[in-house]
Structure 1
Amino acid sequence: MAATGRRDEADEPAVARALTQSHARQLRAGQLGDGVSAAVWRNADDRVSYEAPAHHTLSLYLAGGLGTYRSDRPTLHGAPERICILPAGAPSSWIVDGDLAFLHVYISPTRFAAAVLEWLDREPRACSLHDALYAEDAVLAALGRRLLALDWDEPALRVAADELLQAMLATLLKRYAAGGAWPLLRGGLATAVRRRVLDYVDSHLDAPLGLCELAAQACLSEFHFARMFRVSTGFAPHAWVLARRLRRARQLLGASQLPLAEVALACGFASQAHFGNVFRRAHGLSPGQWRQAAGAG
């Protein structure tokens, strides 16, 4: 498959931007879903530094890499099928001695935070992703290979890519983020209040949900609720509501034959046109295309 064009620099993950400024050559790249993108790279005889990127990076070595190492661990070298995890905010410097081909999956903090809230029922700020250097992880390696086999520009395969990404996130949370003592957190919503608000959102996705209504569930002023909700979840309240509306829409599109207008209303969108515009912006596909790709229509 041909390499895709680069995105605007402002949209490019920091790790990818650093690689474009090195000797590395990008073979493929694609936006794979809300807050996740991927790229395949080849590099040789180079030194690359990542200066505290704002996103998480999952790296799978595809070929070569036997002479590649991180500057702070010079005795530990890479190899095909090895996994590296670069948490957001962690700077690193890499020496590439010889040839190397690798897959990168870039995960935004908001996408990671949503997974933590949904699957672990924990505040994202209490769950940091651990660094991993040349780990032997057959599950992540297999998921990476399956992702690599997809045509990232083919709309019909976007749903398959999203399913693989969900499995990757679940594995990351299970093996590289979950566990350890839960720290004492200050400044956010109490656990019971957070759960009550999130449950309320999920139970009322077919209705308008304003800040006033959500703040009332927490018995707080709108100002204090908005601030504390963001501290607890990493999301502004409106952004979380929209993410849950889109999630419900994907579920209905994949598992029902409801007309698109009814899906729109069931998920709280003002109209089918509004639903279509928001869905396409988030996923790169229209609701009808998503349904067709999911095999429900």
Structure 2
Amino acid sequence: MPNRYRDIYPSLPLLDSEGTLHASAAQLMSVQYFQAPPDMMPEDVFAEHHLLLNLKDDPHRVQNRRDGQMRDFTFRKNEIVMTPAGTRSGWRWFATSDVIVITLQPEAVAHFAERELGMLLDETQFKDTPQFLDADLCTAGIMMRDTLEAGDITSAVMFEAMARVFLVKLLQRYGKQRPEEIAAAGRFTSAHHRRVLAYVRANLDRTIALEDLAREVGMSPSSFSRTFKEVIGRTPMQFVLSYRIEQALKMMNDPARPLGEIALACGFADQAHFSRSFKQVIGTTPSKHRATALPTPG
């Protein structure tokens, strides 16, 4: 099993998001900030995508061996190096670093892209963009770092908001969508998925039937159900239920919002229906989840 990238850091980060955030924020990404003296990291293969955001004002020499190819280059401020999961990579840097390291789980990225942006990502994600200059994305990374440094009671909420902004920017600019000609072979494309997602969002508080979704993309219910499952990996109604629960989880972050109100807002018949469905998906009831997930005041 591939190592985690953080397992071979040669020095400890000055700031580290792991273990300090709400669970939903931690699922999006982890963020570490380093000012590390000249050193090296051995080659290894990782199950995660990772990005290095260079904040150092002075250009400095860096070596990155990637899948057997040596890259010896000058690392400039606001440059980002992207290493996708499954890539054999090793590093050496010749000056004190000033970098943010962002680690992403491929499954979480794909899920976020599908649910939040209506994007069906290609399996070869980020392999064509090893290095690029993006001051705006680096600024978004700095905002996450500063949120970690603040360390106050609102940090988890702010970090999650900034993490979502970062991922949206990253995927909209550099995300690689599944080719439409491949998706079209199953007759369910990224455009179809965006229409389905938009319909579910717009009708979250209402009953949604298979026929409604099929009509939205111009397919028969049987054809839609079959091809949707082939492409997305679950049935349309499983997708709808999962989406309702995800939105409920977000609403439950507000401790003042009653569970009965959340149930109706997310399209459940009543609180009992919500509780049964929530337990089916999450494994516990909404009230128990809220009690354990939200921080205790004081």
Instruction: Place the TM-score, normalised by the shorter chain, in its bin.
Output: 0.5 to 0.7
2:62, 2:72 within 8 Å by CA — same for their partners in 1?
Answer: no
- Counterpart CA distance in 2 for 1:279 and 1:13 is 33
Corresponding residue for residue 270 of structure 1: 275
> When the two structures are aligned, how many residues end up with a matched partner?
266
Corresponding residue for residue 45 of structure 1: 39
The letter of the residue matching 2:5 is V
1:100 aligns with 2:111: no
- Counterpart CA distance in 2 for 1:139 and 1:123 is 24
Counterparts in 2 of 1:87 and 1:180: CA distance versus 1, 3 Å:
same
1:149 Cα offset (Å): 0.9
The letter of the residue matching 1:274 is T
2:125, 2:175 within 8 Å by CA — same for their partners in 1?
Answer: yes
Corresponding residue for residue 148 of structure 1: 145
Counterparts in 2 of 1:126 and 1:230: CA distance versus 1, 3 Å:
same
Residues 245-272 of structure 1: per-residue CA shift (max 9 Å, x gap) = 3335536867x97434422453343189
Which runs of structure 1 show a deviation greater than 6 angstroms over 4 or more consecutive aligned residues?
213-218, 223-226
1:60, 1:82 within 8 Å by CA — same for their partners in 2?
Answer: yes
Q: Percent identity?
A: 20
The letter of the residue matching 1:37 is S
The TM-score with structure 2 as length reference comes to: 0.67
- Counterpart CA distance in 2 for 1:280 and 1:83 is 40
1:116 Cα offset (Å): 2.5
1:178 Cα offset (Å): 5.0
Consecutive unaligned residues of structure 1, counting only runs of 5 or more, are 1-9, 290-297
2:63, 2:70 within 8 Å by CA — same for their partners in 1?
Answer: yes
Equivalence map 1:121-140=2 (5 Å): 121-125=118-122, 128-140=125-137
- Counterpart CA distance in 1 for 2:95 and 2:134 is 24
- Counterpart CA distance in 1 for 2:251 and 2:127 is 31
Counterparts in 2 of 1:13 and 1:165: CA distance versus 1, 3 Å:
farther
Corresponding residue for residue 285 of structure 1: 294
Residues 153-185 of structure 1: per-residue CA shift (max 9 Å, x gap) = 544122211221122112112221257964423
1:16 aligns with 2:15: no
1:140 Cα offset (Å): 0.9
Corresponding residue for residue 157 of structure 2: 159
Instruction: Please tell me the root mean square deviation across aligned C-alpha atoms, in Å.
Output: 4.4
Residues 58-110 of structure 1: per-residue CA shift (max 9 Å, x gap) = 22123477132212353322234321122222222222223223211112223
- Counterpart CA distance in 2 for 1:62 and 1:199 is 38
Residue aligned with 2:162, SS = helix
- Which has more radius of gyration? 2
Counterparts in 2 of 1:133 and 1:193: CA distance versus 1, 3 Å:
closer
1:55, 1:88 within 8 Å by CA — same for their partners in 2?
Answer: yes
